[in-house]
Amino acid sequence: MADDINRQRVLNFLDAYYGGDTAAAVKCCAEDMLMMVYLPVELFPHLGPQRGRKAVADLMAVLEARYSARRHEVSHLVADRHSAAAIVDVTYTKRADGRVIRLLSGNFFEIRRGLITEIRCFFDTIDWVAQLTGRDLVGPLLREVGSALLPPSRTPPLEPAK
């Protein structure tokens, strides 16, 4: 029973969050909830660790200002008595240039007394920045550091010291 309630709480939150309904999104969260999006804060200063319902509202305001449309599709969701995890396919349309950005997000929720007390989100940083800028980041990175990124079994053997 709690599993179904927590599952629905997360679905309600995601619908409100990506739908731009701030009042409904914060209503799903505990007053002192923790929100953490794991991306470099140097690139995304608004996504570092935040606390409270106001953090959710503030982040939603940033998203509203930057993106003309936000959509999401939950591809996987599991929930139990105190937690839930979801994989969400997120699509944003940038206001500045109309570029459409599509990302997968891993979301982990802690839930107590029917309210979300913690949200932790993971995105592919390189993919997000590449889509935001419209630039290939992987090619130049591979050219610069090359074999240092390859697994040890694929790294060319070292030349013996002379």
pLDDT in tens, 58-77: 999 999 999 999 999 999 99
Q: Indicate whether 102 pLDDT > 60.
A: yes
pLDDT of the residue at 133: 86
pTM of the entire predicted model: 0.84
> Does one domain contain both 22 and 76?
yes
Around 158, how many Cα atoms within 13 Å sit in the side-chain half-sphere?
A: 5
Neighbour count for residue 44 (Cβ, 10 Å): 16
> Does one domain contain both 158 and 95?
no
- From residue 108, how far is each of 65, 69, 79, 121, 134 by CA, in Å? 25, 24, 10, 6, 29
Domain extent at residue 115: 2-123
> Does one domain contain both 149 and 118?
no
Choice between 49 and 153, residue whose per-residue pLDDT is larger: 49
User: Which CATH number is 81's domain given?
Assistant: 3.10.450.50
What is residue 44's DSSP assignment?
-
> Does one domain contain both 78 and 152?
no
Tokens at residue 124, please?
């592919």
